[in-house]
Structure 1
Amino acid sequence: MPAAANLAVMDIPTPQEALRKLLLERLRPLVETPGRAQKPCGMQFRGTQLFSYCCFTTERIAAFETLQAVIGIVLNGTKEFWVGNSGRRFSAGQVFVLPAGTKLDVVNIPDDRRGRYEALIVEVHHLPPALAALPELPQPAARETRHDVTLTAELVDALSHAAHTLASSDHAEILAEHRLAEVLMLLRNDPAARCLFDLSLRERIARMVVAETTRTWTAEAIAAKLGMGASTLRRHLTQDGTALREVLATARMQIARGMLERGEANVSTAAEAAGYASRSHFIRRYRSIYGAVPSEHLAR
């Protein structure tokens, strides 16, 4: 018998497994907390548009809704998304994408070895102008059933650079759009990330408003950003069964809810951000949209 036949069979990682391992090596140090006996639970702010999430026991979150489009990377443990009886599972090193306004049930499962579930979350507020100006993607022949992003060496590099830049307070705001644009450009042709680019007109407007919360948005300013005239903008919205006033009001309410959940505002400040002079009117409108009063969404 040849000597080679006595060699043990070795598990050779697939290209995707190797890239996931590389991504974890680069991103896990961002969420390490030296000197702590235990990591803090829940959502932690890490930098511009960058958050981490950690839990130590399996948790189930019913009817979770994304306020912003997000790119997520599971760092430890397993994440499951459920819509009815249909589920998707993501393990450490996998990248997932969710559009704004997604409603689903979430299960976060710690791994046995590290004893925790952990993920890094990048918020995508709007498409950079360079990407928005590209031709629309062709419609797929059939519904896409794969939900995890396919990693490439270029995408691993881009995600790593973007995360580390966003976590740097000195230059994050200047470089954030460029770093995220690189990531989005690489994701653009991945069917699993298509939801970031297949946006309705009202979704595109909402993202613009949420991205620049202090700006006074007019029909002319929005239309100029979208490369059309104000009258054309209004006509398209009317054809969609809505009006610019309604789109702006909804976007501002999303801003208010995000501020409350991140602990950036009290109810009065959130009402002002949503464009309400009356706190009571804001609370009534908020409850009609989200089924809860603003104080129930205050960051704990």
Structure 2
Amino acid sequence: MSFPSTVRLFEMSARDGLQNEPGDFIATPIKIELIERLADAGLTHIEAASFVSPKWVPQMADAHDVLSGIQRRPGVTFAALTPNLKGLEGAIAAKADEVAVFSAASEAFTQKNINCSIAESLERFIPVIETARQNGIRVRGYVSTVMGCPYQGEVSPSAVAKVAQQLIEMGCYEVSLGDTIGVGTPLKAKRMLEAVTQHVPIDKLAAHFHDTYGQAVANLYAVLEEGIQVIDASVAGLGGCPYAKGASGNVATEDVLYLLEGLGIETGIDLQKLINTGFWITQQLKRNNGSKVALAKGACHGL
């Protein structure tokens, strides 16, 4: 199968990248500037915040202020993660353009994380999705552990397909397939996607692959061959993997963009601006840049 002519990158750094950042609270103006730099680089879909309990995710305590403080621009969607109705109400009040809900393909993972079964987790999202749609807000779904689970190990492709299909039937416009612990390999990625596309059209799917084992770019190449047109990524590879100490989490947006450019796939994103943004935010956080492309190319002066 030939590669798609265009790919939409869905930027995760402002939410998935920052939510587990250790140490001091990241100031709201830094988060806002990160999001605006990403939009200026050409990213059209940015997950900006998460409306969860500050007790559990303290870095997202300023979600309303972040979304309210962003300078909105035409053609750019600012999304928020909303695990329940209270979170959705917060996202609506902050004028999020779209929201997201999340489940997993592993029963063990769901029990460990939110103390319920997969079926129960999906049931909880019905009022969230219905209320969002009543308010004219699109809902995106995430499925975690699509190629492996830290608790049960292997996850069957059919289990992934079942959850993805249910999220689409519940009203999600798109489902992002997440290799949460980054254990996938290209053949496993293809087989997983093959199972899912028997139930969900490929134009309603996105790839969200972590780079814990250094396989994310190879896995993305594999699913691009199958026709995936939406990829989740995080500038500078922000966002560690909580199940593998010291390991990288999200695949770096710069590395994905370099791959796409090499394949002649259009994204509308300026790679150098993205690289500069990655170096800028890692300087703010006093951490290393996790993008191999950024480290190879370097930043232009005047970050």
Q: Which has the larger radius of gyration?
A: 1
Question: TM-score normalized by structure 1?
Answer: 0.35
Using the size of structure 2 for normalisation, the TM-score is: 0.35
